[in-house]
Structure 1
Amino acid sequence: MNGTVLRRPRRWLTWGATAAEVDATLPGDEFLADPDIVSTRAVTVDAPPEAVWPWLVQMGSGRGGAYTYDWIENLFGLDMHSADRILPQFQQLAGGDELPLGRNGPAMRVEILDPRRTLVFRSADGAWVWGFHLRRYGAGTRLISRNRISLAERPGPGRAAYRMVMEPGSLVMERRMLLGIKQRAERTS
């Protein structure tokens, strides 16, 4: 890891994930080889991967939302409106597609799209790689989210402050997202 390592409870960065999931090399990890922050969070969905996949591909600003706290996302101008149904107009996603992150955020480019298995985005500035991985788990699915983030643009005290706010804040939002996808996929399966 680059820079100063802050000691944080691993649960902030590994909520719901098994030790094997945290330690695994996942598709997309290679796009940001030496990140400052890595989070691996997961949830078990009582539905098959094909029931989870449509919720992932429609995610995004001005699309299906992020299934988090829309009001918080929209404080940052992200235009998130979490859908409660599959939106056919957002089911076609291809490698290379770029999805905006609000009006002023970096675009998120689809780097890996392996239907019903893996969806990986990389920010236009290359500082963030976000992957979603579906693994069959009995009759259900393990939904694993991996974030790899570089803080190279945040030197000194800004880096420490960013980590102190973003690590726990990302847990709150991502936990809600994973549970939101779980709820939707189980309901529609």
Structure 2
Amino acid sequence: MAKKSQPSGRQILAAAGAAAAYYVFLRPQLLKWHTHPSVAEHPLPGDEVITQPNLQLTQAIGIDAPADAIWPWLAQMGRERSGYYVCDWLVNHGVPSMGFVRRDMPSPEAGMSMDGGFHVIQAEPSNVLLFGAFSVNRWIATVDTTSLYVLKPREHGGTWLIMRQREYAFGLMRQIYSLLMEPVYALGMHQQLARLKALSERSMS
């Protein structure tokens, strides 16, 4: 019977070097993708809900549309299977996120239930949407989680859409969970913001 090959010292060093490079160089960029350091590190609405997160990512995207044109897409997000504009196969039971603005929904208000077990924490039209869930079981950890969307005017027209994801994970595996989820959230947030930008700008044409 052939012996199973063991990783060589060179392979182990290469893996350790790649992990160190990710942690030191790539990870800090993922945590604030497309976001100025002053925004990524600045307190935002809803930070007080989870005061000491062990996972936080902040991203931003410039949208060539006023806040009033972006808000309807945020306002219907995660409600009555309208979708979250990301990973529809996972978070929306395979139903594509809405490609049009629904006019039959009331404005989101604090306390409203959302798809996936979330609920609205704060809603200020054309300004702030904050939702979250608490004591959620996620395979190797239990988490409290919040998702924040803030609309701010750009200096030369249009709007900044800023998103911040914060979580506090409980349990012995919480640090491993956070490290594994950071790149997942980073890519998902990037996709979601890009879709919201495309939809908002299309509605202006």
- Give the TM interval when normalised to the shorter protein: 0.7 to 0.9
Taking structure 1 as reference, are residues 30 and 79 closer, same or farther at Cα in structure 2, changes over 3 Å only?
A: farther
Task: Check 1:81–1:89 CA distance in 2 against 1; reply closer, same or farther (3 A cut).
Answer: farther
Where does residue 149 of structure 1 map in the other structure?
167
- TM-aligned CA deviation for residue 118 of structure 1: 0.5
**Which protein has the larger Cα radius of gyration, Structure 1 or Structure 2?**
2
Is the CA contact 1:54–1:91 (under 8 Å) kept in the aligned structure 2? Answer: no
**8 Å Cα contact 1:109-1:124 kept in structure 2:** no
- Describe the shift of the 1:117–1:72 C-alpha distance in structure 2 as closer, same or farther (beyond 3 A): same
* Structure 2 match to 1:104: none
SS where residue 10 of structure 1 aligns?
helix
Partners of 1:99 and 1:80 lie apart in 2 by: 15
- Residue-by-residue CA offset, 1:77-101 (whole Å, 9 max, x unaligned): x555211110112352112111131
- Using the size of structure 2 for normalisation, the TM-score is 0.77
Q: SS of the counterpart of 1:129?
A: strand
In structure 2, runs of 5+ residues without a counterpart are 1-22, 136-142
Are 1:89 and 2:104 matched, yes or no? yes
> Which residue number corresponds to residue 130 of structure 1?
147
Paired residue type of 1:50:
D
SS in 2 for 1:31: coil
Pick the aligned partner of 2:37 from 15, 19, 31. Answer: 19
Moved beyond 4 Å, runs of 4+: none
- Structure 2 equivalent of residue 116 of structure 1: 126
**Which AA in structure 2 matches 1:47?**
A
Aligned to 1:37: 55
Distance 2:109 2:91 in 1: 25
Using the TM superposition, give the Cα deviation of residue 61 of structure 1 relative to its aligned residue in structure 2, in angstroms: 5.7
Identity %: 28
Q: Using CA pairs below 8 Å that are at least 6 residues apart, which structure has the higher relative contact order?
A: 1
The residue type paired with residue 13 of structure 1 is L
- Indicate conservation of the 8 Å contact 2:50/2:166, yes or no: yes
Residue equivalent to 1:99: 114
**Contact 1:45/1:142 (8 A) holds in 2:** yes
